[in-house]
Structure 1
């Protein structure tokens, strides 16, 4: 892992730049949200799982770029048990951070093109911890790569990122664990967007899409699969109905399509649990 971290020097430098500039934000948006669904899925688990998810997110922009932070707290029902034989559901925390450096703003030049607002460099990290019985994920991942910012109402950013990922799971079923294991460096094509759908009705189309390449063998020697994770929402700004400022309270519906979840092959031993097709309801408070 030390070698892989050394390959991410540029990513760490961008993160430091972003965090150092956070106090000088030109704009910011912090939100707390809740979402709920009954058809979540986990690899090697054939049954539907109900989850309640609470999220804290923060986005901000400063002179040379943007920052985004997200922390999900996920609470499963008993179909995703917290330990072998347990009747209580697992808990998970998943944290993500991204910093995008706007190359046009840094250079003082207009780096634009037809349909393109600008170009950037994105870096960040993901990490999680989960108390489930079967795997007990301890994911750690650094990401870095170029970003294209498209000129659309709202925003649409597309990035091609390299992923340096590792994990150190422990199974309470078999009482065995694995020392931290590094997957092969692998690519991800990532898109994030928020696009207004109407000038007269406060509806937005929001979400992200990740198309992730194979990451070599997993920690148990099995081959990993290409992964697709698309999460999209239609959100309605109901702030006016409750006398609040624009984009304070939003409600809507969400759908997640996640094939070969975490690189597990849904056509292999991981089974149907590695292919999530999950409708959700969602509510947000922005401040």
Structure 2
């Protein structure tokens, strides 16, 4: 087995240290279980609208020197995105994300605030997915790392510039051929994540993330990859707060995702590579 390059070893060490420290000394923690549903999902090389149900489990926590975020989606498609060639059942997918942000001000005791920025940090993490479907059967693995600006807004708004080390080992169900794990070119992502309360009379919040991802070189089939834009945002109504039974417990809302050139697949003559998906969302925090 080849040793990991230094950069990836350093990222893994930072993730392990952050996770262990947070697990031992979390100052606060919020866990949520949510469900969302839409009928306009899209997949590359599939020109049909796909309905999906998505169950999500997330946890965000803070400790003395920073924050941790973990989220896993369980995605269940209808038969327009079949589970195998000729199947009448839909594909299943699990997609996990972890991010650790080390707050440089808290570590060093220095003040990094300037203009609209309240602080600076270093973010590292990973994405992992596994999907069972007719065509690609994704097995994504990705490490991420880079600087973060924490903006001075109500709630939070973090903006990061991350390097991505991504690989995949797909299996083509149509040709019954497996591809050895393929590593894409290291590429950048400008990303933002936010949760901002709106007003006080009505308990609304504007939440979401936006990813702008550079090209990752050639894909595993020798084709050029395209720049991605993935914006997922929701307007959430805090039902518990409105009814006087506790804030940030039960929320309902509307969500919208715009994903252009999904997974780096160009949408030129490939309409399924860009998704414009409205969803309903319900969320329970505990």
- For 2:105 and 2:177, the matched residues in 1 are separated by 50
Using the alignment, how far apart are the partners of 1:158 and 1:2 within structure 2? 34
Give the conservation status (yes or no) of the 8 Å contact 1:14–1:101: no
> Which residue in the other structure is 1:159 paired with?
160
Q: Where does residue 24 of structure 1 map in the other structure?
A: 25
CA deviation after TM superposition for structure 1 residue 282, in Å: 0.3
Please tell me whether the aligned partners of residues 159 and 189 of structure 1 are also in contact (alpha carbons under 8 angstroms).
yes
Asked if the contact 1:250–1:283 (Cα under 8 Å) also holds between the matched residues in 2, the reply is: yes
- Deviations along 1:20-43, one digit per CA (max 9) or x if unpaired, are 112211111000000000000000
- The whole-number CA distance in structure 1 between the counterparts of 2:87 and 2:224 is 30
Partner deviation per Cα, 1:189-247 (whole Å, 9 max, x = no partner): 00000111112111000000000000000000000000000000000000145553211
- Cα distance in 2, alignment partners of residues 117 and 91 from structure 1: 41
Q: Deviations over 1:137-165 (max 9, x none)?
A: 00000000000000001110000000000
Aligned to 2:282: 283
Aligned to 2:257: 256
Q: SS state of the match for residue 109, structure 1?
A: coil
Q: TM-score, normalised by structure 1?
A: 0.97
Q: Distance in 2 between matches of 1:147 and 1:10?
A: 17
Aligned length: 285
Which consecutive unaligned segments of at least 5 residues does structure 2 have?
Answer: none
Contact 2:166–2:184, Cα closer than 8 Å, also in 1? yes
Matching of residues 131-170 of structure 1 within 5 Å:
131-170=132-171
Distance 1:241 1:151, change over 3 A: closer
Cα offset for 1:118? 0.3
1:204 corresponding residue in structure 2 = 205
Distance in 1 separating the partners of 2:14 and 2:156: 21
Distance 1:251 1:10 in 2: 40
Corresponding residue for residue 77 of structure 2: 76
User: Relative to structure 1, is the Cα distance of residues 5 and 129 closer, same or farther in structure 2, using a 3 angstrom cutoff?
Assistant: farther
Specify the SS of the correspondent of 1:7.
Answer: helix
Q: Give the superposition deviation at 1:12.
A: 1.5
Shift in Å, 1:2: 5.1
Unpaired runs of 5+ in structure 1?
none
Q: Distance in 2 between matches of 1:4 and 1:267?
A: 36
Tell me if the contact between 1:4 and 1:164 (Cα under 8 Å) persists in the aligned partners: no
Deviation of residue 7 (structure 1)? 2.1
Counterpart position of 2:10: 10
TM-score of the aligned structures, taking structure 2 as reference length = 0.97
After TM superposition, what 4+ stretches of structure 1 lie above 4 angstroms from structure 2?
A: 1-5
Query: Matches of 2:2 and 2:101 in 1, distance apart?
Result: 24
Q: Residue 166 of structure 1 aligns to a residue in which SS? A: strand
What residue number does 1:51 align with?
52
For the residue of structure 2 that corresponds to 1:73, the secondary structure is: strand
**8 Å CA contact 2:203, 2:241 repeated in 1:** no
Distance 2:83 2:243 in 1: 39
